[in-house]
Amino acid sequence: MKNIITNDSVRNVAIIAHVDHGKTTLVDAMFRQGGIYRDNQEVSDRVMDSMDLERERGITIAAKNCAVRWGDRKINIIDTPGHADFGGEVERSLSMANGAILLVDSSEGPLPQTRFVLKKTLEAGLKVIVVVNKIDRKDARADEVLNEIYDLFIDLDANDAQLEFPVLYAIGREGVAMRNIDDPRENLTPLFETIVEQVPGPAHDPEEPFQMLVADLSYSEYLGRLAVGRVFHGKAHNNDALACIGADGTAKSLKVSKLQTYDGLQLRETKEAEPGDIVVISGIEDVVIGDTICTRDKPRALKRINVDEPTVSMRFSINTSPLVGQEGKLVQSSKIRERLQKEMLRNVAIRVEDSEERDSFIVKGRGEFQMAIIVEQMRREGFELTVGRPEVIYREVDGKTHEPIEQLFIDCDESFLGIVTEKLSVRKGRMNNLINHGTGRIRMEFSVPSRGLIGYRDEFLTDTKGTGIMNSLFAGYEPHRGEFPTRFTGSLVADRAGAAVAYALFNLEPRGELFVVPGEPIYEGMIVGEHNRDNDIDVNPAKGKKLTNMRASGKDEAVTLTPVRPMTLERAIHFVREDELVEVTPQSIRLRKSVLSAMERHRIFGKKKKETM
Per the annotation, where are the binding residues for GTP? 20-25, 133-136
| Residue list, annotated binding site | 20-25, 133-136
SS3 at position 345: helix
In the DSSP assignment, the letter for residue 327 is: S
- Give the C-alpha separation, 473 to 406, whole Å: 5
3-class DSSP string for 83-138: CHHHHHHHHHHHCCCCEEEEEEECCCCCCHHHHHHHHHHHHCCCEEEEEEECCCCC
- Give the C-alpha separation, 145 to 477, whole Å: 30
Using CA atoms, how far residue 521 sits from 484, 496, 504, 507, 569, in Å, is 35, 11, 14, 18, 19
- Give the C-alpha separation, 480 to 451, whole Å: 11
- 129: exposed, middle or buried (Cβ count in 10 Å: 0-12, 13-18, 19+): buried
Q: Where are the alpha helices (DSSP H) in 464-528?
A: 502-508
User: Residues 336, 328: contact at Cβ < 8 Å?
Assistant: no
User: Residues 279, 259: contact at Cβ < 8 Å?
Assistant: yes
For residue 169, give the nearest of 180, 159, 158, 156 by alpha carbon.
180
For residue 473, give the nearest of 437, 448, 441 by alpha carbon.
448
